[in-house]
Structure 1
Amino acid sequence: MFKLELGPSGQYASRGNVCIFPQEPGPLATCLPPPLTELHDEICVILVGSPNTEVTIDTLTKTPLLIRRSRIIEALKWLKLHNPLYSDLDLCAMESNAASYPEHGIPIPLQSIIRTNANSEGSSYTQQANAEQCNGNVSPFGMPSSTVIDADHVDSTYKVRKLAALQRLKSGTEPFIKFPSGSTPLPTRNNPELFGYLWPTLFPYGVGMMEN
C-alpha cells in the first residue's frame, strides 16, 4: 500500500510497503525452452511504434525480435554454468525441446493483434486507469486547497477492463498468458537472490545483489 505524504520541505513523497508475489511457471522453470507445442500459450510480443504501421508476419521477422535457436541453447548453457539461479536447468530436456524449433524464422503463427495508441510520445505504454474520466473542461481557476475529492470511483475504468478480461478468459475463445502470480510472497529482507529474480538481465551471474 502506498500513500502520498507531505515532507518538511513542502514536497510530496510516496511512502508505503511492497509485497512481491513470484509467478508460477510450473515445470517450465526447469525445462527451458518450453516445448514448441506449448509455446503459443507462453509468449506475447509487444511492439511499440507508429499506430499507422501495419503489423504483419514480415514485421516480426526483423531484428531484434528474432534470435537463432543455437543462440538460445548457448545462452541457457552459459546460465547453467555461471548463474546459480539456473543451476537446476535440465540439459537433456533443453536439447530435446530445442530440437523441435526451426533454426530460423518464427516458430508459431501470428494468432491475434491488439492495437492501442498513445496521444503523445511522453505517454506510457499502457493505458491509464482513469484516462476515460479526464476531459478538456478544466476550470481556469484551479483547484482550491479545501476541495473534497471522491476517490472511490477513480479506478472504475480499470475494474471494467478487468471484468471484461475475466469474461474473455472464461469464454475460452481467446488466447492468453497462463502464468498467474504465486500464493507465497517473496521476502524483501534477508533475501540476496531477490534482485536476481526481478532483474535477471542486470545480474547475469546471479551474484552482486543486495546482501550478497
Structure 2
Amino acid sequence: MDECLAIMFIGASPPSPADFKRTPLLMRHAVVLSALRWLKLKHIEYSDVVISLNNLYEYPADVPPVYVMYQPGDGEAPAPAQSVHEEDQECGSKDGLCLFIVHGLTGADLAHMSHHAKIATALHYFENGGKVVGLDRGSDPTFIYHNPALFPRMFPWLFSYGLGGFENNKLRTGLSRTAHQKHSLLYNDRRFQMDPHFAFMIFNHEQIRASTKGGYLLTERQHFNDVVGKLLNIDTDTL
C-alpha cells in the first residue's frame, strides 16, 4: 500500500494519536472483515477468495496503515490563498482543536490556468520533491464490449451475487443493452438511480462505443464508393 498511497500532514506540530482518530485513515478490522465476508457470499467474483485473519490483524488499529509524512508550517498563508475577507497572513486558532491546512490547486484554479501554466506548476511541484499516486493495473485489459462481468465488478454493491450484467447470456428474453440499462435505472429500490457514479459510467461507455462505431464506418474504405453513391442519389423529397 505504501507504493501507491501516502498521507501528508501540514501544521505547527506532528499529528498525534488523537488527530488520527478524527480522520478516516484507520484500519477498522471488523468493518473490513465484514465487507470481505459479504463480497465472498454475495459476489461470484469473490467466491474463491481466502480471507486471512492473520494478515488482516497485522494492520495497526490506532495509526494509518501507510506512510505518514509531516511537513512543518509557519502558520502563514500565502497571499494568493487568502480570501477577500482576511486582513493578515496569520491563519490559526488560539483555542480549541487546531485544524490542518493543505494548500494545492483546486478546480477553480485550473479553470483559469493556461496549458503552459499547468505544465510550469507541475514541473515546479516535481522539482521541489513532490510525489504522485501511481495505480497499477493487470497485465490483461478489461474490455467494455460484450463483457457481462464488467459492471458487476465495478459496482459489486449494485449487482447481487455479481450477476445481472449487461449483454449476459443468462437472460431468457431478448433485451438490448440500452433497454437493460433503462430497466436498471427503474428499479423499485432506486439503488442504481441513487448511486453517484453508475449513470455517469453508463453514459461515458455509450459515448466511447458510439465514437468507435462511427470511426469504424468512416474507415471502411472498401465501402466508400457505395456509401457516397447512395448519399448522392438519395431522394430528398422522401428524406
TM-score tier after normalising by the smaller chain length: 0.3 to 0.5
Larger Rg: 2
What TM-score, normalized to structure 1?
0.45
Higher normalized helix content (fraction of residues): 2
What TM-score, normalized to structure 2?
0.41
Select the structure with the greater relative contact order (CA < 8 A; seq sep ≥ 6): 1
